[in-house]
Amino acid sequence: MLRMLKFSLFGFLVGASAAAAAQVPPPQIAYGTLRQAPDGTSGLELNAGSYHLSQQQSLCWVAENIPAAPQQQIVMESFHTPAGVRFSQSSVWVVSNNDNSHHVITSPKTPNANRQYHTCWRFDQSDPFGDYRLQVRIGDIEFPPYSFRWQP
């Protein structure tokens, strides 16, 4: 069962230089796995699309440069999954099709102190292995789909 993890990411994406401060950077999103550093801080390790049960990896995303930040936004995550996947999180609204292979998860989110929106999903042994696709929409900003594989 996929479960959402909450975490803080500080300094994940590199800030714009002083010369570029007058320009508004485009919205961007990164996907990866949350890694805990020896000093206790956490950060996103970018992932090319392969997550493993044996490594207890979570799928995380971080988005920044969202025009309305630091305001709360409605976030929609659209997952295409192997049949039978179920999502578990009490503070979100989940709509799934009959065979549980397409899910739309909607939730209000407020950005962190760095004006980033983020979510982590934890996989476990009940989630079927195979190909998944996630598309994130924050307010009016829709990011390209991210394809990944869940494997042993």
What would the pLDDT profile of 68-115 be if each residue is shown by its tens digit? 767 899 999 999 999 999 988 878 999 999 999 999 999 999 999 889
The model's pTM is: 0.81
Q: Which tens digits make up the pLDDT trace of 42-72?
A: 788 998 889 998 888 889 999 999 987 678 9
Residues 2 and 87 sit within 8 Å (Cβ to Cβ): yes
Residues 63 and 29 sit within 8 Å (Cβ to Cβ): yes
* CATH number of the 28-150 domain: 2.60.40
